[in-house]
């Protein structure tokens, strides 16, 4: 199997540990909400042991995806999130409607033991630093027959064909990371730029594909039951807000970040394609 490298995960630092990142997160809530709605439409949590089923939201962040899950009527939801700053925002949002667990996805088995009916990891999978540890951890946490649902988009995921709008979006992303790297040279940024170049050329050897997802989960007895692709359309301003938030992990001067983000030419509407996967624990 080809090596799958996680561009963000090459660095142990979780950008979401920063207090200011967790506060800036609210500027992009509607985008994450949109993608959580897509995932929930694809896999309805109530079909997994009804309202009483144990559902976990891995990398729950400030609780945007969890709020969407709760709206379906789920009663037993646990937010799993390693960043204290993000958890604080989630607790403000959801109070006693859910439970909270400060934990990395790689350590789920410290808390869950074959008792989870359904686990979501939304806009988070690309951040897991130790993939083999995560695979063992999710397989232990799920009940036999329990499901794991996650979404993933470029640059971590490779699609066979990209539309003109998606290529424009990826080029704008590349432009952003190239300029950011000029202000704050960093191994992750260089890696991301190289990866985006490859994706524009449709060379997907170093990113996840449907086949590689199927293969890596099969190694822990989990079967890929279904997958789909959705397009999240976002106005250019939202994309700028996401970049501005991510840039805070690399550059501390806000004016420099604002100038950098303003300098990128963007199509009016950006197209972010996401793949959503549903895996079933067979053991």
Ligand X SMILES: C[S@@+](CC[C@H](N)C(=O)[O-])C[C@H]1O[C@@H](n2cnc3c(N)ncnc32)[C@H](O)[C@@H]1O
| Positive/negative CA dihedral, 215, 122, 12, 117 | negative
The C-alpha atoms of residue 13 and residue 115 are separated, in whole angstroms, by 30
Phi, psi for residue 173 in degrees, rounded to 5: -60, -45
Supply 210's token pair.
């449907």
Residues that bind ligand X (CB under 6 A): 14, 16, 32, 36, 58-61, 64-65, 81-83, 86, 104-106, 122-124, 127-129
Minimum CB separation from ligand X for residue 267, in Å?
23
Query: Minimum distance from CB of 121 to ligand X (Å)?
Result: 7
Residue with smaller CB distance to ligand X, 81 or 166: 81
Choice between 128 and 217, CB closer to ligand X: 128
Q: How far is the CB of 200 from ligand X (least distance, A)?
A: 24
In this structure, are residues 198 and 170 in contact, taking their beta carbons and an 8 Å threshold?
Answer: no
Residue with smaller CB distance to ligand X, 131 or 167 = 131
Nearer to ligand X, 76 or 282 (CB): 76
Q: Name the residue number minimizing CB distance to ligand X.
A: 61
Question: Residue 43 Cβ, how far from ligand X at the closest point, in Å?
Answer: 15
> Taking CA 184 as the corner, what is the angle to CA 178 and CA 188, rounded to the nearest 5 degrees?
65
DSSP-derived letter for residue 160 is S
Q: Round to whole Å and give the CA distance between 81 and 107.
A: 11
| Residue number, 188 or 200, with CB nearest to ligand X | 188
| Pair of tokens at residue 154 | 């470029």
Two structure tokens written together for 188: 């992750």
Closest distance of CB 209 from ligand X, Å: 22
């Amino acid at each position: 199997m080809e090596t799958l490298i996680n561009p963000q995960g090459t660095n142990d630092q979780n950008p979401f540990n920063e207090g200011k990142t967790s506060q800036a997160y609210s500027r992009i809530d509607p985008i994450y909400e949109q993608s959580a709605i897509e995932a929930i439409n694809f896999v309805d949590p109530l079909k997994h042991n009804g309202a009483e089923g144990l559902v976990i939201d891995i990398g729950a962040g400030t609780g945007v995806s969890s709020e969407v899950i709760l709206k379906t009527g789920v009663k037993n939801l646990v937010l799993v999130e390693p960043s204290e700053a993000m958890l604080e925002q989630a607790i403000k949002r959801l109070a006693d409607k859910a439970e909270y667990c400060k934990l990395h996805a790689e350590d789920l088995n410290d808390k869950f033991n074959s008792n989870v009916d359904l686990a979501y990891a939304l806009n988070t999978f690309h951040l897991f630093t130790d993939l083999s540890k995560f695979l063992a951890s999710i397989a232990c946490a799920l009940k036999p027959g329990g499901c794991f649902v996650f979404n993933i988009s470029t640059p971590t995921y490779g699609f066979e064909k990209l539309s003109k709008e998606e290529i424009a979006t990826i080029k704008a992303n590349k432009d952003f990371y190239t300029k950011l790297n000029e202000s704050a040279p960093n191994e992750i940024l260089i890696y991301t730029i190289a990866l985006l170049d490859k994706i524009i050329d449709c060379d997907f050897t170093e990113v996840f594909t449907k086949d590689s997802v199927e293969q890596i989960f099969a190694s822990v007895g989990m079967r890929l039951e279904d997958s789909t692709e959705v397009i999240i359309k976002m106005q250019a301003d939202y994309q700028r807000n996401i970049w501005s938030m991510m840039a805070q992990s690399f550059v501390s001067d806000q004016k420099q970040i604002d100038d950098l983000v303003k300098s990128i030419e963007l199509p009016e509407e950006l197209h972010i394609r996401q793949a959503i996967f549903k895996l079933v624990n067979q053991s």
